[in-house]
Structure 1
Amino acid sequence: MLIVEELFLLLRRDDGKAESATSQNGYGLAAAVVTDLVLAEKVTLSDDKDPRMAVVSPAPAGHPALDVALARLVEKDGKKLSSLVTDRRLNVEHEVAEALSSAGVVRVEEKRALGLVPARYPILDPEPERRVRERLRTVLAGGTPQPADATLLSVLQGLGLVGKVLADEKGGLGRRDLKRRIEEVSTDVQAGAAVAKAVQAMNTAIMTAAILPAIAAGGAAGS
């Protein structure tokens, strides 16, 4: 499975509703699909603190979510990662849901009441998510992370959902220890330094993107 597909499952309850109605899930999906494209060697990230993305192969990747995201990244070639994670057109929720539906993992229930009732994606086959959670449990307990594990943990941490989504998998780790372990994981990715740096950059970009709306809302409330 793609990282963005695994994240999609983690961000949804078994009844198909989002784990959190207030979190910026789209930012996480955007970061995950960019990471998938980095691993597929379709795009690269520069070494800057806020990396710039460069498309190295615009040919279709063969998955609807990757192809939609890649087409958008071609238009955004050279842009900073911080601007990409907030790009609505990189929120590939629909494409991921359709792919998982075709695989028999979820059922798609479209938006209702003129979009006021959001789409739901009830789980039909819980096994794929169970395997992801078991991997993350092992990594949090000290196992060696793969790029997908590091990305998922960093994204969930950036969205402020890691404690909620991985309530069982985190074991006895408290908030501070969980954060420290995820920081360790992001620098210990088995695929090497380039991917580790990409994961760290994603985490920073998501945290910044998720925090800014809250600051803006707070400022508006106080004015």
Structure 2
Amino acid sequence: MLIVEELHMLLLRPDGRVDSSVSVNRLYGEIAAVLTDLALRGRITLTDERHPVVGIASTEPTGHPVLDTTLERLIPLRGKRLQSLIARPKLDPLEVVVESLLVQGVLIRGERGFFGWGSVRTPESDPAPERVLRARLADVIAGDRVAARADLSLLSILQNLNAAHAILREECAGASARDLKKRIEQLTAESPQADGTAVGDAVANALNAAMAAAMMAAMTPAIVAATVS
């Protein structure tokens, strides 16, 4: 399963809606996750500079609809800074990720919100994949399992969304939000090349910085308005 698909499972509540802790920032996390998937498959590159630029290394289809749809959307955006892409709604993989999980039987189409308004909810049809995923992350956090690139990516993205503790409350075995943050930082530092190459680490570092910058840029107008008022 893709990193972005696993992330989406973690972000969904039992009723099929995105958890309130990430409802505003989900876009950043899921774009970061799908870009990680593409980079690890050799489809995109990032320049080695303070504000990385995204390049297209190959347009060859991966065979996965989520990745191929995102890659197609990325092609006309090649040469753009990573930070700007993280916040670009055009790259939001939500619809194709949901469709992929529906096809796999993980999710099912539910009902809309009150009075038939809002988007269609997509609760889990098969809870087994998420249970396995959460058990895996719990073992990684506890030190009982060596972290794979997917594990590190998921933990880093959740931490950058300021939602790791809210989403993984049970998996962190009673650890505080501060302690979980330290543990994720420790795991990232200890396993810089969990995928066997330097690509995963370079992408993770660049995406972490880009997510933080994009979220800060989005929050700044609200902070300024609150200060002025």
Q: Could you tell me the TM-score, scaled by structure 2's length?
A: 0.89
Corresponding residue number in structure 2 for 1:193? 198
2:80 maps to 79
Cα deviation for residue 213 of structure 1 reads 2.3
Distance between the aligned counterparts of 2:140 and 2:151, measured in 1?
A: 8
Whether 1:219 and 2:219 are equivalent positions in the alignment is no
Deviations 1:116-163 (A, max 9, x none): 513311100011111111111111112321111111111111111101
Distance in 2 (alpha carbons) for counterparts of 1:107 and 1:33: 22
Give 5+ residue unaligned stretches, structure 2: none
Compare 15-24 and 125-134 and name the one that shifted more: 15-24
Aligned residue in 2 for 1:11: 11
Q: Deviations over 1:90-119 (max 9, x none)?
A: 111110111111111101247679995133
Aligned length: 223
Which consecutive aligned stretches of 4+ in structure 1 deviate over 4 angstroms post-superposition? 110-116
Q: In the aligned structure 1, how far is the partner of 2:86 from the partner of 2:169? A: 26
1:147 to 146, 149, 173: 149
1:11-90 to 2 correspondences below 5 Å: 11-20=11-20, 22-90=23-91
Q: 1:18 to 1:45 in 2, by over 3 A?
A: same
Q: Does residue 204 in structure 1 map to residue 209 in structure 2?
A: yes
State the superposition RMSD in angstroms.
2.0
The letter of the residue matching 2:200 is V
Structure 1, gaps ≥5 residues long: none
Q: Aligned with 1:144: secondary structure?
A: coil
Contact 2:28 2:211 in 1 (8 A): yes
Partner of 1:93: 94
* TM-score of the superposed pair, with normalisation by structure 1: 0.92
- Write the distance in 2 (CA, Å) between the matches of 1:198 and 1:186: 13
In structure 2, which of residues 157, 172, 175 is the aligned counterpart of residue 173 of structure 1? 175
Match of 1:164 among 152, 155, 166: 166
The aligned amino acid for 1:106 is: L
Q: Distance in 2 between matches of 1:98 and 1:77?
A: 26
Q: For the residues of structure 2 that align with 1:125 and 1:34, how far apart are their CA atoms?
A: 26
Amino acid of the structure 2 residue aligned with 1:95: V
